[in-house]
Amino acid sequence: MRITKVETIRLEQSPADAAAGVRRERNLLWVRVHTDEGHVGLGETYYGARTVEAAVHELFSPLLIGRDPLEIERHWTNMFRLADHFGYGGAETRAISAVDIALWDIFGQAVGRPIYELLGGACRRRIPVYDTGGGPNYPDDPVPYVEELLDRGVTAMKVGAYPVAHEGYGYELTREELERIITPIAKIADAFGDRMGIAVDGHGFWGLPAAMKLVRMLEPFPILWFEEMISARDATAHLELQRSTRVPICGAERLVTRYAFADFVEKRALEIVMPDLVWTGGISEVKKIVVLAETHQLPVCPHDCTGPVNLFACAHICMNAPNAWMMETSRAFHEDWYPQLVTSNVVLENGCLLAPEGPGLGTRLREEVLMRPDATVRVTDTASQHYMGWRQ
């Protein structure tokens, strides 16, 4: 079997979304890897779609065309060696992530098995989920929404703890900001006690002193973890933050590859490991990060608040990983958005996500997505000799 072409699909904004003022799709990029046996692997990444599209076609597609798609580790190494030569973070690693997912999807299709079985089999067939609310724009009364989550068996949620706009660059925490962050959390805790666990996401916004003040103020509430309260630039600062609170520190979607995670994990600067599969290197790399975390007896909760393929890929990792704890989902995305993009959706049942069924990922991109007027489809179908140094 040989790779015949690599295809990318990105969307700008559908007329319906434009009318509704929604701009959620323009940062998603899908990668489809085609083979001469008719298999089409699907991958995905998020953010800077145009830039990542260029990396897929100009850097990595020439390394793949004409090669065996099942040599996944070789392809990952070749792509990463090229990216690492010029500095591997950002668009290059996102492109590798999407391609890697697509190659695993082909592997599953070729042997007729789901990806988690190819990773070593299932440690579980379902995993608890938590619901993420995204940014800091809470409703005045979050109680009805939390009641609906509990009725569905969901007993954990994530809320944002950062301002929409701020002139202090995160190095000061005003009384108004503190009140805005605490008020909805207090309302949830007052109404439900510890029936609803709350994860708090700082999106890497705060400086260390402000973050330490904020975590102290939030400690009395039923907090599951503090996530990226400071930027993931410095493991020592994270360790100081971890030592300042009894609540676990979680991170980090902005850590790229096992090489970045290793420093944080080995210094015990994290108690919960949260790789973003479509940023940090795909299924191949997250499997290695999971093993790194397990070596240090740490749980893993993959980061996922983007597209449907990420959710499927994370589900396969979590079915296989013994130290997977929970999966992130967004009720609005899962129910309203993902069905417009993919042929099948993950199944949520009584607060758990069930193992995907079918070969490979278990879903496909809807063909009508490619027909949308705002879709840009780009194809590379020839190899290049310019990168032979990385085509081992």
Residues 321 and 311: their CA atoms lie apart, in Å, by: 15
Burial class (CB in 10 A: 0-12, 13-18, 19+), 347: middle
- Which of 346, 344, 342, 345 is CA-nearest to residue 370? 342
Q: Does the active-site annotation cover 75?
A: no
Instruction: Report the first-to-last Cα separation within the chain, whole angstroms.
Output: 18
Q: Does the active-site annotation cover 303?
A: yes
What residues form DSSP beta bridges with 198? 157, 223
What residues form DSSP beta bridges with 300? 273, 324
- The type of residue at 289 is I
Q: Which of 34, 39, 238, 303 is catalytic?
A: 303
The angle subtended at Cα 310 by Cα 68 and Cα 282, nearest 5°, is: 45
Backbone angles phi, psi at 223, to 5 degrees: -90, 130
Q: In sequence order, which residues have a C-beta less than 8 Å from that of residue 168 and are 6 or more positions away?
A: 174
Q: Which of 34, 39, 75, 203 is catalytic?
A: 203
Query: What is the DSSP secondary-structure string of 233-272?
Result: T-HHHHHHHHHT-SSPEEE-TT--HHHHHHHHHHTT--SE
**Is the preceding peptide bond at 54 cis, omega within 30 degrees of 0?**
no
Active site residues: 203, 303
